[in-house]
Every structure is written in C-alpha cells, then in structure tokens.
Amino acid sequence: MPETTLSTTPSYRIRVAVPVYLYDCFDYSLTAEQYHQAEVGARVAVSFGRQNVVGVIVEKLTDEKPLDLGFKLKAITELLDDNAILDAKVLSLLTWSAQYYQFPIGEVMHAALPSFLRQGKPYNLLARMWKLIDDHAEDKLKRSEKQQDAYKILKLHPTGTSENILNLAGIETATLKALEKKQITQCILEAQDFKPQVMTLAQMPLTPNDEQKRAIQNILKARHSYHAFLLDGLTGSGKTEVYLQVMQEILKQGKQVLVLVPEIGLTPQTVSRFQSRFHCHIALLHSGLNDSKRLQAWQSAQTGKASIVIGTRSAIYTPLPHLGLIVLDEEHDLSFKQQEGFRYHARDVALYRAHLENCPIILGSATPSIDSYALVEQGKMTRLELDQRAGVAVMPKMHVIDLKVAQKQNGISQQLIHEVQKRLDKKEQVLIFLNRRGYAPVLICE
C-alpha cells in the first residue's frame, strides 16, 4: 500500500462576522495572495447558506498544515476593501456592544455601516461638485429667492463647490437641479478629497462667567485621559458655550470631536452654532440623509477630514481616527435609546467608547438622568454645576399648581385660564406645552 504524503502547504482562513441571527463568527478559506491583502476590519463578500452576504473580517488565521475538519471550508467570494474601514477600537466597541446587549455580532457590525457599504458597493464614491456655467443669469432668477441664494454662493466659488457644503449652507439639492435645468449650473463628479482641514476660529468666544470658567478648566485638565463629566446646568446657563470653548482647545491639538444630539431636529441649530464659531469641516450623520450623503459624511469622519462630527445615536459607532472628545447633549433624553432591532443606549456606549479612546466625555443636561446621578454618587463621574443664567438672561417666574386642590374647568386650573386670558387681552402670544400626545393614560373625575 503506497504511503500517503501529507501536504505541508499552510492553509489560510479568515473569521468573518456575518449579518445573520447567529451569535458566532464563521471561518472562510482564501488564497495566500488574498490572505496577505485582507485586513481585519475590511469588508468581504461571502456565501452563507443560499444567500450572498457582506461580512466584516474580525480575525486572520493561518495553519502550518491543512486542518482535518472533516469538511471543506467555503472560500470567500471577494475582498471588497483594500484597507480596513473599521479600526481596532471601533471593532472592540462593536464586540463589547454585541456581548453587553446580547445581540449577534454580525448584525451589530452590519448596523454600524452606512447602507451603501452594507450592500457591498465600492468604498470610493465620487463627490458631486456644482459649478456655474452662466455667471450673468440674475434676470432669470427674479422669481425664486432660493435659486438666487444658491447662485450668489456659487458665484463666490467659480471653481465649484461640493454638494455637501452647499447643503450645510441651506441650499437644497432640488434648488441646484432647478438651476441645472435652466443651464445655469453644472454637476461634475470628482474623486473626494479627504485631506483634514486646519481649524480656525470664525468668531471669538464669549467671556465665560465664573461657573463656566471652572467647568472649562476642570474638563481641560483631563483632556489627555478618560474622564466623565456631568454638566448639570439649567436652561440658559451656557452649557453650549462650555462645549465650544473645550472643543476649541481639543481641535487645536488636531483631534476630532463627536457631538451626539437626541433628535434630527436639533442638528441644524447645533451645526449653525458650531459653524459660526469654527472654520473646519463638520460632518452630519442622521437618518434624514440619503444613502450617498450619509456615506460621504461617514467617510469624512473615518478618514479624519471632519474635525467635528454631529449626529444622532447611531453616530456613536462611527470610526474617528483622532477622537479627542465626546459631547452628549441632553443626555437624559430617551431618544438615545434604540428601541428596535439592535437595542442599545447611546449614552452607555459613549461612556465605554470614551474609556476605549482614553478621552474625556461631557454629558450635558438641565435635568440629568438618575443613572448619571448614580455614577456621580459612585465617584465614576464628576458633576459640574451651572446655577447661573449666562449673560443678561434672568430666571422666569414659575408657579406650581396642584390640580388635586385647585379649582378647574375641563381639567385646566382657573389660574391658568385667567393668566392666558390676560395675555390675549394684551394682544400677546401664549405657548402651551403638553407632556405627551395621543392617548390619555389617566381619567380624572371632578
């Protein structure tokens, strides 16, 4: 009987997080050339069961001798990225999230990627640049103020302006397309420039009061290490100014800042405040963006081009190579909780990410959550109080009315009716806030 010669050729395989509802990663074989090209954190196309899916490489494995598994490993279909698109710290964060929230690792990594990348589309998309081709078109735009505004901005930049920058300036894509139909503008597709932009001040900072100054100094003392701060300040006390002055020092070091806001609606006002203070690239990440704009914003953050990244809860998983500060505004807001699919709390993930990145994190609120107060009590977070109104603002007069004892008319106190009528008689306006919409959970009998 002839002797069996065992192959001494090493076998190559990678471990892939696949977007399926299973809690394990799966091994795939690949050639030596593919193995040396593959990077942990890059995407790979693989076959799983009867479907073709896009996974993320989490580990590279090599065996000196072929493994006797009793079955043949599936080979990968294609390497989709030349370089890693998720760095080691983000991979650690995603792995921790999957374990902490008991959710399949492949689905967690899938959720962290922009839609285009989840679909296996190329990483390098071309950017849309807009340029004037008719710079004497004022008479054609008399009926549209929006088109006039877009025209004026484009005229200031004869070499062209990216669609993202125009959108940040309040110019909608529909307006640019309307100008294109009139043969006033032209859209050009260009390779994106991901070179970081040097931050300069667009506006001098305001003079902080004593409380703001103390808060700024305390945070900046910890700028080179992990430290969690609870900025507990009543409305109008100048929490945003504290953020801005701390951010200024972090940005001067060439680092990036991640700002999380609870709602998409808060993003424009936050952006305008930051744009009026800093001349630098600001990336927006929220569900209101279309797929191509979201990918471009994600890329500008991932490459380090964006100095400031502003986003809703999912932005916490965005790769940031030079992260130096995390700011979580309105930290008490329930919108930071993801309630469907992969359920997580962005505040808790942000605290863990700051720990991984070894950078400070600021949680700001006028009404901090009980969880944050508990962390302060345990010595895991430093509370910074702002009890004074910033500038010349004064506290409003407040009246607490006990509806159990007050005289009511259809559930509304007589005092409130009287005060509202008084304002209406003076031709003034009244703003009434309701604590919730829709179904009333309580019945009150009079």
pLDDT of residue 218: 96
What are the pLDDT digits (tens) for 244-303? 999 999 999 999 999 999 987 766 777 888 888 888 889 999 888 888 889 989 999 999
Extract the tokens encoding 443.
């019945």
Instruction: State the Cα–Cα distance between residues 21 and 19, nearest whole angstrom.
Output: 7
pLDDT tens by residue, the chain, 446 residues: 344 444 455 688 999 999 999 999 999 999 999 999 999 999 999 999 999 999 999 999 887 666 666 678 899 999 999 899 999 999 999 999 999 999 999 999 999 999 999 999 888 766 778 888 887 777 778 778 888 888 888 888 888 888 877 887 788 888 888 888 888 888 887 666 666 666 667 677 888 889 999 999 999 999 999 999 999 998 888 899 999 999 999 999 999 999 999 987 766 777 888 888 888 889 999 888 888 889 989 999 999 999 999 999 999 999 999 999 999 999 999 999 999 999 999 999 999 999 999 999 999 999 999 999 999 999 999 999 998 877 666 777 888 998 888 888 877 899 999 999 999 999 999 999 877 666 666 666 66
**Contact yes or no for 432/424 (Cβ under 8 A):** no
Identify the CA nearest to 42 among candidates 91, 77, 111, 89: 91
* % of the chain residues with pLDDT over 90: 55
pLDDT of residue 412: 86
CATH code of the domain occupying 11-118: 3.40.1440.60
pLDDT of residue 5: 42
Identify the CA nearest to 256 among candidates 318, 167, 347: 318
Domain boundaries, the chain: 11-118, 127-190, 200-386, 399-446
To the question of domain 200-386 being in CATH 3.40.50.300, the answer is: yes
In which region does residue 254 sit, left (phi positive, over 0), alpha (psi from -120 to 50) or beta (all else)?
Answer: left
pLDDT of residue 97: 98
